[in-house]
Amino acid sequence: MHKAPAIIILGPGSLATAQRIQQRYPQAVIHGLSGRVEGVDQTYASFGDTLRALYQQDTPIIALCAAGIVIRSLACVLSEKGVEPPVLAVAEDGSAVVPLLGGLSGVNVMAREIGEALGVAAAITTSGELRFGTCLLNPPQGYALADIEQGKRFVSDLLAGETVRVEGAAPWLDQAQLPASESARRTIHVGHQARASSRDELLIHPRSVVVGVDTADLQGIRAALKDAGIAEQSLACLLASEHAMADAALHEAAQALGVALRFAAKPGDLRGMVAQALPDAQLIEQANAVIAVASAPVDAERIGRRRGRLAVIGLGPGAAELMVPAVKAELARAQDILGYETYVRMAGPFRADQVQHCTDNREEMQRARHAFELAAQGRSVVVVSSGDPGVFAMAAAVLEALHASSDPAWQRVDLEILPGVSASLATAAQAGAPLGHDFCVMSLSDNLKPWSVIEHRLDLAAQADLVLAFYNPISRSRPWQLGRALEIVRQHRDGNTPVVLGRDIGRPGQTLKVVSLAELVPEMVDMRTMVLLGSSTTCQFPKADGTPWVYTPRWYPSAE
Ligand code: SAH
């Protein structure tokens, strides 16, 4: 199945058309040029980079602009092997739909669907498709063409006047205008068996086979299929016992075979598990596998369930450009999003099918457990932190919850932590390079640790002449702690030491201030501020606009 399409627009003039297309594909995401259009799902800075990235991620692209712009933007990635998603250009007023690329991934089908939604005819240019009313090389979902090169020859033979007959069940061809004849030499053969390739035959495999395995590697699965005379392309999915959910070899095998890996409870033997999942299929028992052959394509989504995934992600400080691409991709695939409301909102917008679970900032352990419960059911779950999830944020809470749990279903969840740009790094970058030499990161919050520990660490870190990065420097419920912390630091550090105060960095209304340690008072700081306090070598000099660059040199004076 294809990913949700991306609808790309350049200006407000095409938003209405984009929205009509989105009604046809409710999962589609409208991308608008930042600063030019309001009311889009996502913004981008560079049209070309965005288009190329989407193309390389195999995302169908519907660009509301001149076909030429799309062609020029994608030209340099076209020769790369691998993906070719559907790419279409649509006139911004919706008067023309031009399929450009992805003939084998259904671009003409999409062009017709969009044309229908906009009330115009799609500009189909594919000969076979025009003549036969269907693209023989692009069978519908649930079927796979055995050999594309052979297929191209086959279609050109038909275009040259050969007749054809259909062997097996090909319901989608009932509507096609094929040059059919009972005595034809050419056949379209639909079946799950492996067959030698022949110039006279267009071989199409229904994805009607499921292989049930306990634990097996790629070779074992391939051997089982081969022994049963079944074509690999007929495979719809692998089915394994849920106890094998974390088995790496199985996941690798499924990936190499390009199919989903599904799991079911296995109360008895393997045969029983497979029979339960596919009650009407014919079963073939092999050494380490039970193969089920159904009479029609199998929808893998309906067989057992998938392995749940839990990703703990960092949004970065706030600005979309500072969010790492892996996090963006994770947010797009998420079914459930958990987190403190402010961060969940920052991570959005979300589609209607994505469930948001907003909670209070303090309910971290409860949130972590909730995330595991959802993921253990097979859902794709994201827990959102700002900055980096491993820096005073959710990743440690999630691991603590897992460590404390004896639930095997939690242990089997596909857990991943995806990093983000932490506030100290984002603030440092704006100020220059205050963290250019050794530094120490501390949270000044005594909610989860005794204040005496904080004082002790501050004293040692200041004595060691480390640059100090303070997270959670102050809050309404912790009004005096920062003042006390500064007293300790001042015992070891000069009043001239530069201090960087970054507030709401990467967010609307951000401010960056540089003051001296002598000038610094707690009133300058709030809970949305990052404090970077220099070492003895941290220095500053004015930029052209008069504001300072702050940096800590990479060298350190020797001790004599
Ligand atoms: N995981 C986060 C930190 C969470 S602790 C990260 O890696 O950035 C929360 C503290 O981080 C706040 O009290 C503040 O000191 C700092 N902080 C988070 N985002 C910030 C931002 N955009 N600008 C300045 N400080 C920020």
C-beta of 507 in contact with ligand 1 (< 6 A):
yes
241: part of which helix (H) or strand (E)? strand 235-241
Mean pLDDT of 277-299: 94
Rounded average pLDDT over 552-560: 88
Q: Once rounded to an integer, what is the mean pLDDT over residues 201-221?
A: 92
pLDDT for 377: 93
316 lines ligand 1 (CB under 6 A): no
Q: Is the CB of 386 under 6 A from ligand 1?
A: yes
Share of the chain above pLDDT 90, in %: 81
Residue 526 has pLDDT above 90, yes or no: yes
pLDDT digits (tens, 9 = 90+) for 234-262: 999 999 999 999 999 999 999 999 999 99
- What is the per-residue pLDDT for 368? 95
pLDDT at residue 81 is higher than 70: no
User: Does any ligand 1 atom lie closer than 6 A to the CB of residue 388?
Assistant: yes
Q: From the CB of 441, is ligand 1 less than 6 Å away?
A: no
Mean pLDDT of 406-419: 96
User: Mean pLDDT, to the nearest integer, of 405-421?
Assistant: 96
pLDDT at 1 over 70: no
Q: Which of 418, 471, 526, 533 to mutate to test the pocket of ligand 1 (most atoms within 8 A of CB)?
A: 471
**Cα 316 to averaged position of ligand 1 atoms, centre (Å):** 9
Which ligand 1 atom sits closest to the C-alpha of 471?
Answer: 15
Closest by CA position to 62, among listed 95, 16, 100: 100
- Inform me whether the pLDDT recorded for 83 exceeds 90: no
Instruction: Give CA–CA dist 282/302, Å, rounded.
Output: 18
d(CA 112, CA 56): 24
Question: Using 50, 70 and 90 to split pLDDT, how confident is the model at 459?
Answer: very high
**Ligand 1, atom nearest to 475 Cα:** 13
pLDDT at residue 215 in the model: 77
pLDDT, averaged across the chain: 93
Taking the C-alpha atoms of residue 383 and residue 367, their distance in angstroms, rounded to an integer, is 8
Provide the 8-state DSSP code for 475. B
CB of 392 shorter than 6 A to ligand 1 = yes
Superfamily of domain 309-421: Tetrapyrrole methylase, N-terminal domain (3.40.1010.10)
pLDDT digits (tens, 9 = 90+) for 317-328: 998 889 999 999
Task: Give me ligand 1 centre to Cα 314, in Å.
Answer: 11
Question: Does the pLDDT of residue 398 top 60, yes or no?
Answer: yes
Top-level class of domain 209-295: alpha beta
What residue ranges of the chain are covered by domains with CATH 3.40.50.11220?
A: 6-125
6-125: CATH topology: Rossmann fold (3.40.50)
- Please indicate whether residue 235, judged by its CB atom, sits closer than 6 Å to ligand 1: no
Q: What pTM value is reported for the model? A: 0.80
Encode pLDDT of 155-199 as tens digits: 999 999 999 999 999 999 988 888 999 999 999 999 999 999 888
Query: Strand 414-418 to strand 289-293: parallel, antiparallel, or no bridges (unpaired)?
Result: unpaired
Which pLDDT score is estimated for 560? 62
Residue of 361, 384, 386, 445 to test ligand 1 pocket, by largest number of atoms within 8 Å of CB: 386
Residue 90: beta bridge partners? 97
Report pLDDT digits (tens) over 320-361: 889 999 999 999 899 999 999 999 999 988 888 899 998 876
Beta strands at 380-385 and 186-190: parallel, antiparallel or unpaired: unpaired
Which atom of ligand 1 is nearest the CA belonging to 421? 7
Residue 314 has a pLDDT of 98
How many A from CA of 530 to the centre of ligand 1?
6
- Domain 424-551 - what CATH class? alpha beta
Ranges for all domains in the chain classified under CATH 3.30.420.180? 209-295
Q: In the chain, what percentage of residues exceed pLDDT 70?
A: 99
What is the structure's pLDDT at 468?
98
Q: How many angstroms separate the CA atoms of 31 and 8, rounded?
A: 5
388 CA distance to ligand 1 centroid (A)?
9
CATH 3.40.1010.10 in the chain is located at 309-421
For ligand 1, mutation pick of 324, 364, 528 (most atoms within 8 Å of CB): 528
Residue-level pLDDT at 536: 97
